[in-house]
Chain A
Amino acid sequence: MDLNYTSDDLAFRDQVRAFLEAELPQDLQHKVLNHLRLTKDDYVRWHRILARQGWVAPGWPREYGGPGWTPAQRHIFEEECARAGTPPVMPFGVNMVAPVIMAFGSQAQKDYYLPRILSCEDWWCQGYSEPGAGSDLASLKTTAVRDGDHYIVNGQKTWTTLAQHADMIFCLVRTDPGVRKQEGISFLLIDMKTPGITVRPIIMLDEDHEVNEVFFDNVRVPVANLVGEENRGWTYAKYLLGHERTGIAAVGRSKRELARLKRMAGREQKNGRPLIADPLFGAKLAELEIELMALETTVLRVLAQAHKAPGPEASVLKVRGTEIQQRLTELIVEAAGPMALPFDAAYLEGETEHSVFDDDFAAPLLPHYFNYRKTSIYGGSNEIQRNIISQMILGL
């Protein structure tokens, strides 16, 4: 047993650090580290910087333009990006639809879409959830009816992240209502500019426009945009769910936020002493730090098993990872105390002049706390993850 990185891994880490040092624009880093809102251009700019370096799709095989990294290198890269405070690469194209196209798509789909995903020519969004199909995703009702060379799509998707920026949406649609619900679903790629598509914002509890409803009214989609076979979409969607491995734990990000929390707790005062010296707060902080140490070790254990196919262990990482992320946002708000209360939307949008309050650090904290309640709900709620653990790992 040896928990140290190899010298090759350490050299790789230095290479990544040097790249980030040189290439991460300071304005983007400032926004990310301070939880300010990112524009479409912010995401795209960073995506293209990574793409130029050949690092935007760490999980892709070399033949499609991936860097050919080992799982340990991928982990190091994610961790260094989190540490530095890079904008996230939106997962919908690179990590979600691309692996499905690679595994099940036609040659024409691979040739057309994959390079456009790498270059961010297409911004993708995900058309899975519906008003009546959340955790019970397979009960989705959006229909696609064959009409010559087209499908006619009708229905509604929801919680569609950043659909307002999207060029393309990948959708699960019902193509056969007469069979068991999992067996009548197909996987369609739909151009967001197609007539009949309407995007309506959903404003979340932090008053941000992050997700949307997407309505389909007689939308004509070429049959060539079907991935794989008709009625096999559920299998492809499940393949996608099994594709995630350790990134979901967001350990690097949580380590960064823990460091931020410690800095704050060293600066804020309670009873005339730094907050970090308060036994009640200190104990909560230490508990969280230990849980994160344990999670990091658990992630490394999963990585060390990388020769095996990714499995349901990702559910453990999702549950604990999101619980830790949420706990961090909670304690950060506690550390700020009443100073977290003034709401300064313009500042979050990038205004540098404060409209209501003159303290930089506190303004984004409470919105961030509210925003992060989503983490235990999205990507398969933590209750669904517990179902997966009990059924897939424990055999109950």
Chain B
Amino acid sequence: MDFEFKEEQLQLADALKRWIGRDYGFEARRAIVASSAGVSEQAWAQLAELGLTALPVPEEQGGFAGDAVDMFVVMQELGRGLVVEPYFATVLGAEFLRLGGGHAALLEQVATGELKLACALGERQSRHDMRDIATRAEPAGDGWRLSGEKKVVLHGAQAGVLVVSARSAGGQRDKDGVTLFAVPAGAPGVRITEYRMLDGQRAADVHLDGVQLGADALVGAPGAGWQILEAAIDYGAGLLCAEAVGAMDALFAATLDYLKTRQQFRVPIGKFQALQHRMADMYIHLEQARSMAMLAAVRLRSGNAAERRQAVSAAKYRVGQAARFVGQQAVQLHGGMGVTDELPAAHYFKRLTTIELTLGDADHHLARFMAEAS
């Protein structure tokens, strides 16, 4: 049994940490968030240079074939650094393409950093149930025609290609009849409405008005997309758990620092037992969440679907509980400063809250865990 990260993983984490420290500090990030693009091409180029865009891509397509534990290390650092670049969306998209097979050219472009991806999955009615798909895919000539509307697509406007889930058969919540497509963002009939989220990241609604696609746009087999979709969502949820652990680490450290420096009644406020016990409880939450995020990463790597589903849902639930407690209490312990936009604390809290609402909240994953267990 071994909980240590490999030397290469630690080196990568270090390199990423150094880059964030140098070029992606709180003020630099704030400027990127406030810019009209909302992301930084320069930062993206540096992520590619660090090898991060190649990391999740299979070796055949010029990648490093990094596994879920490698990605854990990366996402943890990106969480610590509050990085708002479209990395998660791209990595998740690449996982869809990898699981679907084919699309080698796209994966090659992802590896070099030329291509960003996004995943258009959720709809107005679906909440956290990604099986609930109203977007239609109908056979048209040699290919397919897509119509529907996808909501809150993370970094949807930054992507060159969108992975879209659609229904080609069956009822709206059936597992069978789900078909996945790789849709060029510039395809006729694709309209993207971008907005900012309160955590500083960009998202978009994607309107698909009779978008014509060739058969080569399919990701996996027609009607059999659920298995890929579910596995990819688990992968994404696992990555978000790792990002949340990194964000909580940083938020916890900032709060601890604040408790040691902020003086009231002529002592550092960390001398007060009420606050000490709150911090102890936050620490326990954080360590329990870290354990679950690590377990999920390992189970994602092992490839057993039942174990993966159970561990990921348990992790997303547990991390969600921790994120809410640590986030809210960190703000509380920062007092008035905690509710301003000036300190990183609030930004971590906002990011953690966003993660909680992405790819399944605590209730969703608890219910899924229960269903798996019975």
Note all chain A residues with C-beta closer than 8 A to B289.
294
Q: How far is the CB of A180 from chain B (nearest CB, A)?
A: 21
Surface stretch bound by B, among A186-194, A229-237, A279-287 = A279-287
Comparing A47-55, A300-308, A327-335, the segment that makes contact with chain B is A300-308
| Residues of chain A contacted by B279 (CB below 8 angstroms) | 389-390, 394, 396
Q: Assess the A396–B3 pair: CB atoms within 8 A.
A: no
**A residues near B270, Cβ cutoff 8 Å:** 390, 396
| Those of A280-321 within 8 Å (CB) of chain B | 282-283, 285-287, 289-291, 293-295, 297-298, 300-301, 303-305, 316, 319-320
Partner of A294, one of B275, B318, B367: B318
Known contacts A1-B294, A304-B1; decide if A394 and B374 are in contact (CB<8 Å). no
B281 within 8 A of A: yes
CA distance A301 to B317 in the complex (A): 20
Chain B CB within 8 A of A359 CB: no
Which listed residue, B4, B276, B281, B298, touches A396 by the CB 8 Å rule?
Answer: B276
Q: How far is the CA of A295 from the CA of B287 in the complex (A)?
A: 9
A6 within 8 A of B: yes
B282-295 interface code vs A (CB 8 A; 1 in, 0 out):
01100111011011
Instruction: State whether B295 touches A6 (Cβ < 8 A).
Output: no
Chain A residues, CB < 8 A from B294:
1, 3, 297, 301
A172 within 8 A of B: no
Contact with A along B1-21 (1 / 0, CB 8 A): 111111000000000000000
Cβ-defined contact, A390 with B277, below 8 A: yes
Inter-chain contact B1/A2, CB cutoff 8 Å = yes
Interchain CB contact under 8 A, B260 and A395: yes
Q: What residues of chain B lie closer than 8 Å to A162, measured between beta carbons?
A: none
Given known A290-B317, A387-B273, contact A3–B295 (CB-CB < 8 A): yes
B369 at the interface (CB under 8 A from A): yes
B273 to A, closest residue via Cβ:
A387
Judge whether A289 and B373 touch: CB under 8 Å: yes
**A304 and B292 within 8 A (CB):** no
Q: Which residue of the partner chain, among A2, A297, A316, contacts B2 with CB atoms under 8 Å?
A: A2
How many B residues face the partner with a CB closer than 8 A? 40
Interface size class of A (residues with CB under 8 A): 35 or more
Q: Kindly list chain A residues whose C-beta atoms are within 8 Å of the C-beta of B1.
A: 2-6, 9, 72, 300, 303-304
From B69, B281, B287, B373, give the contact of A1 (CB < 8 A): B69
**B239-275 near A? 1/0 per residue, CB < 8 Å:** 0000000000000000010011000000000110101
Report whether B291 and A282 are in contact in the complex, using a CB–CB cutoff of 8 Å: no
> Which chain B residues lie closer than 8 Å to A300 at the CB level?
1, 3
Contact of A283 among B283, B311, B370 (CB under 8 A): B370
Distance between A306 CB and nearest chain B CB, rounded to angstroms: 10
Shortest Cβ distance from B269 into A: residue: A396
Residues in A with CB closer than 8 Å to B369 are 286, 289-290
B292, A297: Cβ atoms closer than 8 Å: yes
Docked pose: A73 CA to B229 CA in angstroms: 40
The answer to whether residues A294 and B292 also contact, given A3-B3, A304-B3, A387-B276 and a CB cut-off of 8 A, is yes
Q: Are B280 and A394 in contact (CB under 8 A)?
A: yes
Q: Are B366 and A287 in contact (CB under 8 A)?
A: yes
A21 at the interface (CB under 8 A from B): no
Which residues of A pack against B, CB within 8 Å? Answer: 1-6, 9, 72, 276-277, 282-283, 285-287, 289-291, 293-295, 297-298, 300-301, 303-305, 316, 319-320, 383, 385-387, 389-391, 393-396
Listed by A's residue number, 14 A-B pairs whose Cβ atoms lie within 8 Å are: A1-B294, A3-B1, A9-B1, A286-B370, A287-B366, A290-B292, A291-B288, A294-B288, A294-B314, A298-B287, A298-B288, A300-B1, A301-B291, A386-B281
New contact pairs (17) apart from A287-B366, A298-B291, A394-B279, CB-CB < 8 Å: A1-B69, A1-B294, A5-B1, A72-B1, A286-B366, A290-B292, A293-B311, A294-B318, A297-B292, A301-B291, A303-B1, A316-B283, A389-B279, A390-B276, A390-B280, A396-B259, A396-B271
Ranked 3 nearest A-B pairs via Cβ: A297-B291, A390-B276, A386-B280
